[in-house]
Structure 1
Amino acid sequence: MWDYIIIGAGSAGSAVAGRLSESGRHRVLLLEAGPSDRNVWIRMPIGYGRTFYDPHVNWMYQTEPVPGFNGRISYWPRGKVLGGSSSINAMVYSRGQEADFAEWEAMGNKGWGWRDVLAAYRKLEDHDLGAGEHHGSGGPLHVTTIDRQAHPLSRLFIAAAQEVGIPPSADLNGATIEGAGLYQITTRKGFRESAASAYLRKRPNLDIVTRAQATKLIFEGSRAVGVAYAQGDRMREARGREIILSAGSIGSPQLLQLSGIGPASVLKAVGIDVRLGNEAVGRNLQDHLCYDFTYRTSAPSLNTVLYPWHGKLRVGLQYVLTRQGPLSLSLNQAGGYYRSDPARKAPDIQLYFSPLTYEKAPPKTRPLMNPDPFPGFYTSISPCKPRSAGHLAIKSADWRAHPSIHPNYLSDPGDLAEMVTAAHFLRKLGAAPSLAAVIDEELKPGPAVTGDAEFAEDIRNRAYSVFHPVGSCRMGPDPGSSVVDPSLRVHGIEGLRVIDASIFPTITSGNTNAPSIMVGERGAGFILEDA
């Protein structure tokens, strides 16, 4: 009999397991559907170019055709490995902004305002900038600044942003996220710092079982008492005092539905008895979209280094000998946040800058993303608070089957209008003197795309997910419209919590990995308070 069983060793689940086991007082079982993270492509920061299409460590979900994308399917990589998506992501550390969490608290989620959230961030951080008002030091997760290693083109991006009215920022996780600067990343001494490497330690009271996929929850009356899981060809069960579901924004609602918790119509359609009807399970699915401008440059970019075999060899040796160089960084080196309208109370558009370009290919057609054979860079926009929301639902009682995912991108007309306005801003940014001086040609969308209608059509044809799905087990005080309460306990079920990005009531501004880890940190605190 375990004290706590955690299903999913991803960004939040690893944090929960680490915190619940660190005192030594509690017996903790952590189940992960994927393998160990002892993998060179995971440990090397830039290795996500390989894991992006690797089914051994990646669920490689695909959505249903998206009407707002002119019927295109969206590819959603999600981590299936210790560390979850923090083991295969681009490592950008962005915590969201105060307004995001003020919104959560205003929706009835007491204790989720910026003061409480910032305290959790400071507790989990071991930040290069050291302890202070905005950052923590000595926590489990190392956060690295890249000032000394960023590519020179990244500096030109920051200068160009200033030329079009965006102030430079030395800390995009400081007093405000507003401004343009270099992104902070989750690495430690040149290696990727996933939630697993940060939080999971060998402890006699913590058992970590990999390649163990949960198939359904076990109940006694209205109480969750265990989990059934598959390990190879064998079916097993584990029972515990409390069950924590940390399988992510797809896996958590999927397992709840497989266990009879969810919309009655969905469950009945696949022959699953309704244990607890809850229309919110799998709803409120939100994600960030991205739209790129691609440029060929006269100045060298990372393509110049990483495309030729001798360049790969040189940076490979640099990494092996020093743990520095391009292989120790993210491709998203610079970026920031700005207000599309000065009247807005908070920044609403995120910027990305990558000193490298590559042709994006469909899943299973290209095992390793390779740079283009010419120097170039991307600039990108991503609206922080899209209004469109989707849903997911199991389409079979078979736990092996991926659910049906409907992201409903651009279903709200305001989202498309916002992206069109931001696309015009990217064109203006590319014309700023610092970037214009090194641009030979705008390859995409190309100079022929100029008007609102043309940009709108190109966005429908080329915009893509930034892989930030959240919200499918929404947190809120009302059992009629949410899945978990503000302490992350599932409404109507005893002994069961959901602790991962699926509980976000609304999507946060920017990259969602840091907020996901923060949710794990906060969730573990709630459990220990009740212990």
Structure 2
Amino acid sequence: MNEFDYVIVGAGSAGCVLADRLSANPRHRVCLIEAGPPDSSALIHTPLGVIGLIGSKTYNWCFDTEPQAQLDQRKLFWPRGKTLGGSSSINAMVYIRGHARDYDDWANQGNPGWSHDDLLPLFKAHENNERGPSRSHGTGGPLNVADVRDPNPLSQVFIEAAKQAGLPYNPDFNGVEQEGVGLYQVTQKDGRRWSSARAFLENARSRPNLTVLTGAHATRVLMEGKRAVGIEVVVQNGQKRHLSAQREVVLCGGAVNSPQLLMLSGIGPRKELEQHGIKVVHELPGVGQNLQDHLDMTVMIRDRSKRAFGLALSFVPRAIAALFRYIFGRRGMLASNVAEGGGFAKLSKDSERPDIQFHFLPSFLKDHGRKLVPGYGCTLHVCQLRPKSRGYIGLKSADPMAAPLIQPNYLEHPDDRAALIASVRLARRIFASPAFATTNGGETEPGSAAQSDEAILADIRKRAETIYHPVGTCKMGPDAMAVVDAQLRVHGIEGLRVADASIMPTLIGGNTNAPAMVIGEMAARMMLQQNQPAAMDMSQAA
């Protein structure tokens, strides 16, 4: 058995932050476990390479949901990162924190220390924002945040069209006000992806007190009574290995893998565990429950200006030129995150904060990019930010190598259906604005036949997909269905915490990567503060 002070499961957005912070003290022996391989692929570090990563089972868990009753019984594809950096190594690099009131909601639900005012200094401390320091942004931090280097001209057309449709321009969605449209900032540096692994883990890996294990699949938390004492992993050759944690085990596997590992370890709803013959170590009914995700819908038009990224012979010269421009200057199309422009909008004048989010792509995009569409086109994604539908993560099997059961229950609540219908209508208004007059060659999806609410809803059922923001399955709080407390400690278990997007009580209004990193930061600070007296005693003993 290998002995450490801390064992962290999952080298994703939160896990890399936690490993860096804990190992900064040379007295702490830290082990970081990742089921996937190292982040060595050129596709990871080249921003446009995200297209090639979406279906890669090497760097992506490639999960599928259960059939969705409200989506024509379709199984939806759920990509999740499976490499150093986790989903921050395969995402679209959009840097968004969410609305300030989202975090105040968490604090008001019985989670002291998690308000926006509490977390803003952490967001700023992470940042090296290339725009410079401000009331809302920091510089000098490990996470590089940059403007898109060479946005496609159609991204600017989208902004002008949205303004013509009545939306305000917003140069900074992470500033004082979130509502409006503009260009996103991205987690990139010098035209390359700047994942959590690049930002927090790369320099930390040289520390002799940090062990990083890739190709190590965690199969259960090792328990002594009601205390977590380590992790069992299966390494690449199929052998089991036990890793001892003298102080704490921290699960950073995300909203899918963290609850799965808890249940495989006998911690979770009794009925679910007994159904699969798993001995109940600690009954915790909230494990896997409260699943929330942003369901996304698209409107697509043909681009008759041919300025988009296209699948056509006429695009080949541009593609070749773009390759050379990237090789010799890290600029141009390959430095694009594709989702360059976007924004946030309210569906009602009574809304206190934006209800929906846009991601504009100067390209056609179907089925997460897994289906090629010939020609030139534009895609406008729109997702509802605060869905009322709730799902759950369960087990399909007691086999730890099997995929979990994912049941999001999309559109179960009728309000969610109404919000997406209204969102599609707003997206159409944007494409119908004068700014798109010389570009818009006709709508391809949903298509001119879908005009009534019923027809739009039928198209939503046929085509809607995740925009990759599952949260909530190890909810933080003091109530009976909470899994962790405000210190991220698993209720009823000693020496075990969860630190990832699964602890969010409710979805934030935006992309979840930056908040997940701050959750890792919060966990580290809580753990270091808790163990400070022990560290002082060790220092005095030395």
TM-score range, shorter chain: over 0.9
Contact persistence 2:8–2:32 (CA under 8 A): yes
Q: Percent identity?
A: 42
> Following the alignment from structure 2 to structure 1, what is the Cα–Cα distance between the partners of residues 50 and 83?
13
Look up the match of 1:253.
259
Distance 1:305 1:273 in 2: 53
Match runs of 1:148-159 below 5 Å: 149-159=150-160
In the other structure, the counterpart of 1:333 is 340
Q: CA deviation at 1:220?
A: 1.3
Post-superposition offset of 1:361: 7.0
Tell me the distance in 2 between the aligned counterparts of 1:391 and 1:204: 40
Tell me the residue number matched to 2:536.
Answer: none
Residue 301 of structure 1 and its aligned partner are, at CA, apart by: 2.6
**Aligned match for 2:105, one of 103, 124, 131:** 103
CA contact (8 A) 1:305 1:311 kept: no
How many corresponding residue pairs?
523
Supply the AA of the counterpart residue of 1:251. Answer: N
Q: SS at 1:303's partner residue?
A: coil
Distance 1:488 1:358 in 2: 38
Q: How do residues 74-89 of structure 1 correspond to structure 2 at under 5 angstroms?
A: 74-89=76-91
Aligned residue for 2:478? 477
1:207 aligns with 211
| Paired residue secondary structure (2:185) | coil
Structure 2 residue runs without a partner (length 5+)? 532-542
Other structure's SS at 1:459 match: helix
After superposition, residues 265-276 of structure 1 pair within 5 angstroms as 265-276=271-282
Q: Which moved more, 1:495-504 or 1:514-523?
A: 514-523
Q: What's the secondary structure of 1:302's corresponding residue?
A: coil
Structure 1 residue 303, shift from structure 2 partner = 2.2
Secondary structure in 2 matching 1:174 = coil
DSSP 3-state at the match of 1:69 = coil
Name the stretch that deviates more: 407-416 or 22-31.
22-31
Equivalent of 1:134 in 125, 136, 158: 136
> Residue 470 of structure 1: SS of its match in structure 2?
coil
1:9-61: CA deviations, max 9, x gaps?
A: 00110111011112323111001000000111111111111111111111000
Instruction: State the alpha-carbon separation in 1 of the partners of residues 62 and 342 from structure 2.
Output: 27
* 2:383 aligned residue: 382
TM-score for both structures, normalised by structure 2? 0.94
**Aligned counterpart, 2:290:** 284
Displacement after TM superposition at 1:81 (Å)? 0.4
Q: How far apart are the structure 2 equivalents of 1:430 and 1:521?
A: 40
Q: What's the CA shift string for 1:381-412, capped at 9, x where partnerless?
A: 11110110100111211101111111100000
The amino acid across from 2:380 in the alignment is T
C-alpha distance in 2 between matches for 1:436 and 1:117? 43
Match of 1:235 in 2: 240
In structure 2, distance between residues paired with 1:395 and 1:73? 15
Partner of 2:498: 498
> Which residue in 2 is equivalent to 1:408?
409
CA distance in 1, matches of 2:25, 2:317: 50
Out of 305-314 and 441-450, give the one that drifted further: 305-314
Structure 1 residue 39 corresponds to structure 2 residue 44:
no
1:303-335 per-position Cα deviation (integer Å, ceiling 9, x unaligned):
248874443322111111101111112110101
Distance 1:373 1:404 in 2: 35
The alpha-carbon distance between structure 1 residues 332 and 392, as it changes in their structure 2 partners (threshold 3 A), is same
Alignment partner, residue 352 of structure 1: 359
**2:515 match:** 515
Counterpart contact for 1:303–1:373, Cα < 8 Å? no
Cα distance between partner residues in 2 of 1:511 and 1:169: 17
Between 13-22 and 432-441, report the one with greater CA deviation.
432-441
The alignment's C-alpha RMSD in Å is: 1.4
| Conservation of the 8 A alpha-carbon contact between 2:62 and 2:77 | yes
Residue 116 of structure 1: aligned partner = 118
Output the amino acid matched with 1:286.
Q
Aligned to 2:539: none
Q: Residue by residue, what CA displacement relative to the aligned partner does 1:125-147 show, whole Å, maximum 9, x if unpaired? A: 1111222210111111101112x
Alignment correspondent of 1:489: 489
Structure 1 match to 2:187: 186
Give 1:426-441 correspondences, 5 Å limit.
426-441=427-442
Distance 1:272 1:344 in 2: 46
The TM-score, its normalising length taken from structure 1, stands at 0.96
Return the alpha-carbon distance in structure 2 between the equivalents of residues 238 and 293 of structure 1.
49
CA distance in 2, matches of 1:409, 1:185: 28
| Secondary structure class of the residue paired with 1:103 | helix
1:423-468 deviations in whole A, cap 9, x for unaligned? 1111211111112332111111111111111111111111110011
Q: Please state if 1:323 is matched with 2:330.
A: yes
For 2:21 and 2:336, how far apart are their aligned partners in 1? 28
Q: 1:152 to 1:324 in 2, by over 3 A?
A: same
Q: Which amino acid in the other structure matches residue 210 of structure 2?
A: L
Q: Which amino acid aligns with 1:344?
A: S
Whether 1:244 and 2:246 are equivalent positions in the alignment is: no
* In structure 2, C-alpha distance between the alignment counterparts of 1:105 and 1:91, rounded to whole Å: 27
Listed as ranges, the gaps of 5+ residues in structure 1 are: none
1:342 aligns with 2:345: no
* Whole-angstrom distance in 2 between the partners of 1:166 and 1:297: 22
Which whole-Å CA distance do the structure 1 matches of 2:312 and 2:283 have between them? 53
Query: 1:61·1:78 contact (CA, 8 Å) conserved in 2?
Result: yes
Letter matched to residue 61 of structure 1: F
Q: In the aligned structure 2, how far is the partner of 1:262 from the partner of 1:356?
A: 43
Q: Which residue of 1 aligns with 2:220?
A: 216
2:93 aligned to 86, 91, 94, which one?
Answer: 91
For 2:192 and 2:351, locate their aligned partners in 1 and report how far apart those are by CA, in whole Å: 39
Alignment of 1:447-462 (within 5 A): 447-462=448-463
* Deviation readout 1:167-194 (Å, 9 max, x if unpaired): 1111111111111000111111111111
The aligned amino acid for 1:73 is K
- What code does the residue aligned with 2:124 have? R
Tell me how far apart the structure 2 counterparts of residues 144 and 30 of structure 1 sit (CA, whole Å).
28
Distance 2:391 2:104 in 1: 23
Confirm or deny: 8 A CA contact 2:154 2:308 kept in the other structure.
no
For 1:218 and 1:225, the matched residues in 2 are separated by 6
Q: Deviations over 1:501-529 (max 9, x none)?
A: 00010011011111111111111111111
- What is the deviation of 1:64? 0.6
Q: Say which SS state the counterpart of residue 255 (structure 1) adopts.
A: helix
Per the alignment, in what secondary structure is the counterpart of residue 181 of structure 1?
strand
